[in-house]
Amino acid sequence: MSTSKNWPRLESEILACMPTAPGDPVASGQIIAAVRARFPLNPPSRHTIQRALENLEIEALVGKRGTSRDRVWWRTGKQAPSELARRPPLELAIALLTLRRHAPNHLPGHVIQGLEAYFAGAERVLSESPTDPSLGDARAWANKTVRVHAGYPLVSPPIHGDILNAIRKALYTSRVLDVAYQNSRLDTDAPDSYQVVPLGLVERGPVLYLVASRQRRDGTFKIYQLRLDRFASAACTETPGVPDPNFDLNAYVRDDQSFSFLPEGQIQLELRVREEDGYRHLFREQWLATDQVIIDEPGGFRLKATVTLSIALRNLLMERSARVEVLSPATLRDEIAEGLRQAIGRYEANAVDGA
């Protein structure tokens, strides 16, 4: 389905030539004559107008009955999209389709729904002329950018669409959310039910989280980090929520590093990094902190930085332990060493059992 490039407003002109009352019929010949009269210098052909009418029928904006010259058409009453939605400029079309591809979880559900006509218009613009080189470049753009997560590509856990929509609605309208949530503990299968006020959505790797709060009796707020795939149910209520007035999502994620999991405050970290395979180590180019200092030494370098001690930091150091040695603080060095000893013990035990 495409709008004619020579008459970009053709569908809008057709609708303007039809009775405004839904169901009020008008003959094909009358529509064609009226539309052609609107373009006295370069009128579209009968076939072009008929094709545009069929496009409008596909969009459920008009209905028809009869055949050939006896055919009549009428408006259905469905709201026609704006001209900008029907035919966005090329640059906007590229931006719209990139938005739909890369950020579907970062917009309220009703906004996504409201943009559907714009998405359809963007696809229509990009599909108009297979031989137009500018459109060819625009169509190719979709396959020239991609987002990948750091580390091994884990499969995103499924999220029920109704749950996601309820959460986005409550977040957008600042309403209380009724939740039934299954935590990660192994000793229970029963979800907990309670109410929270959504504060923000955070996409971390393949997992989508809801940050929410609940006010305690003393007036303070408890903050929750809830994985959307662990929701058994979610319902947006009509009750206005009372969010934590001091909460800042950016500070919570970036400054407090709450999504590093169980942050314990800052430490002065010193590492010895080995570069024995002839390649620069990741930590030379992707720093652990803005105050990172590298001191070159034979076979690699020592690294000093102020970092937040957390589960994410421990996992990173364990993951890189073949090339990265913790020098200080001593407690973290001992903790990493003990984790490696446990891992070695399991591998050696399995090797003995297999023998």
What are 186-195's pLDDT values in tens digits?
A: 677 789 999 9
Q: pLDDT-based confidence at 5, cuts 50/70/90?
A: low
Whether the Cβ atoms of residue 182 and residue 189 lie closer than 8 Å to each other: yes
Average pLDDT over residues 67-90: 85
Domain ranges, ordered by start, for the chain: 10-80, 85-141, 161-256, 266-350
Digit-coded pLDDT (tens) for 120-177: 889 988 887 777 777 888 888 888 888 877 778 888 899 999 999 999 999 999 999 9
d(CA 158, CA 207): 9
Distances (CA, A) of 136 to 88, 131, 341: 17, 7, 57
Q: Which of 79, 61, 82, 87 is nearest to 2 (CA)?
A: 87
d(CA 283, CA 301): 10
Structure tokens at 229: 């795939």
Report phi then psi at 326, rounded to 5: -80, 125
CATH numeric code, 161-256? 2.30.30
Q: pLDDT-based confidence at 2, cuts 50/70/90?
A: very low
Digit-coded pLDDT (tens) for 90-103: 999 999 999 988 88
pTM (predicted TM-score): 0.70
Q: pLDDT-based confidence at 352, cuts 50/70/90?
A: low
pLDDT of 292 higher than 80:
yes
> What pLDDT is stored for residue 1 in this prediction?
39
Whether the Cβ atoms of residue 176 and residue 166 lie closer than 8 Å to each other: no
d(CA 269, CA 309): 9
pLDDT of 21 higher than 60:
yes
d(CA 36, CA 131): 27
The DSSP element (H or E) to which 166 belongs, if any, is: helix 161-173
d(CA 175, CA 235): 10
Give the angle 228-246-159 at the CA atoms, nearest 5°: 5
Give the angle 300-305-311 at the CA atoms, nearest 5°: 100
Amino acid identity of residue 236, one-letter, is: C
Judged by average pLDDT, the poorest of 78-82, 140-144, 174-178, 202-206 is 78-82
> What pLDDT is stored for residue 106 in this prediction?
86
Q: Which fold has domain 10-80?
A: Arc Repressor Mutant, subunit A (1.10.10)
- Cβ within 8 Å of residue 165, ≥6 positions away: 109
pLDDT of 118 higher than 70:
yes
DSSP 18: S
> What pLDDT is stored for residue 186 in this prediction?
63
Average pLDDT over residues 64-72: 85
Burial zone of 320 (CB within 10 Å; 0-12 exposed, 13-18 middle, 19+ buried): middle
d(CA 309, CA 264): 5
